[in-house]
Structure 1
Amino acid sequence: MSFPAPKPKAPELPQKLQHKLECNQGAVRAVRFNVDGNYCMTCGSDKTLKLWNPHKGTLLKTYSGHGYEVLDTAGSYDNSQMCSCSSDKTVILWDVAQGQVVRKFRGHAGKVNCVQFNEEATVIMSGSIDSSIRCWDCRSRRPEAIQILDEAKDGISSIKISDHEILAGSVDGNLRRYDLRKGEMCADYLGSPITCVSFSQDSQCLLASSLDSTLRLLDKDTGELLGEYTGHQNHSYKLDSCLSEKDTHVLSCSEDGTVCFWDLVEGSLVLKLPVGKAAVQSLSFHPSECCLLTASEGGVQLWRGASYEEEGGS
Structure 2
Amino acid sequence: MAFPQPKHQPPQLPCKLLRSLDCQQGAVRAVRFNADGNYVLSCGSDKTLRLWSASRGALLKTYSGHGYEVLDADGSGDNSQLCSCSSDKTVILWDVATGQVTRKLRGHAGKVNCVRFNEEATVIISGSIDSTVRCWDTRSRRPDPIQILDEAKDGVSSLRVSQFELLTGCVDGRVRRYDLRMGELHADFIGSPITCVCFSQDGQCTLSSSLDSTLRLLDKSTGELLGEYTGHKNSAYKLDCCLSERDTHILSCSEDGHVYFWDLVEGSLSLKLPVGKAVVQSLSFHPSEPRLLTAMEGCVQIWGVESEDSEGTGV
TM-score by length of 2: 0.97
1:230-241 equivalence runs, <5 A: 230-241=230-241
Instruction: Look up the match of 1:72.
Output: 72
Whether 2:272 is the aligned partner of 1:272: answer yes
4+ aligned runs moved over 6 Å, structure 1: 2-6
Q: How many residues align?
A: 313
SS at match of 1:227: strand
CA distance in 2 between counterparts of 1:301 and 1:310 reads: 17
CA distance in 2 between counterparts of 1:13 and 1:73 reads: 25
Instruction: Look up the match of 1:292.
Output: 292
Instruction: Look up the match of 1:47.
Output: 47
Decide whether the 8 Å contact of 2:37 with 2:54 is kept in 1: no
Letter paired with 2:81 = Q
1:1-314 equivalence runs, <5 A: 8-306=8-306, 309-311=310-312
Task: Classify 1:68/1:5 alpha carbon distance in 2 versus 1 (closer, same or farther; 3 Å).
Answer: same
CA distance in 2 between counterparts of 1:232 and 1:47 reads: 30
SS at match of 2:10: coil
Decide whether the 8 Å contact of 1:206 with 1:220 is kept in 2: yes
CA distance in 2 between counterparts of 1:230 and 1:199 reads: 19
Letter paired with 1:260 = Y
User: What does the per-residue CA deviation read over 1:117-171, in whole Å, with 9 as the maximum and x for residues that have no partner?
Assistant: 0011000000000000000010101001110000000000000000000000000
Decide whether the 8 Å contact of 1:123 with 1:137 is kept in 2: yes
Q: What are structure 2's unaligned runs of at least 5 residues? A: none
CA distance in 2 between counterparts of 1:247 and 1:273 reads: 18
Aligned-residue Cα RMSD (Å) equals 1.6
Task: Classify 1:11/1:312 alpha carbon distance in 2 versus 1 (closer, same or farther; 3 Å).
Answer: closer
The alpha carbon displacement at 1:239 in A equals 0.3
CA distance in 2 between counterparts of 1:78 and 1:97 reads: 12
* Percent of aligned pairs with the same amino acid: 74
Task: Classify 1:4/1:269 alpha carbon distance in 2 versus 1 (closer, same or farther; 3 Å).
Answer: farther
Query: Comparing 7-16 with 251-260, which one deviates more in the overlay?
Result: 7-16
The alpha carbon displacement at 1:306 in A equals 2.9
The alpha carbon displacement at 1:283 in A equals 0.4
CA distance in 1 between counterparts of 2:282 and 2:52 reads: 16
The alpha carbon displacement at 1:9 in A equals 2.2
Decide whether the 8 Å contact of 1:276 with 1:297 is kept in 2: no
CA distance in 2 between counterparts of 1:109 and 1:39 reads: 31
User: What does the per-residue CA deviation read over 1:30-73, in whole Å, with 9 as the maximum and x for residues that have no partner?
Assistant: 00001100111101100000000132111000000000000000
Decide whether the 8 Å contact of 1:19 with 1:55 is kept in 2: no
CA distance in 2 between counterparts of 1:304 and 1:118 reads: 28
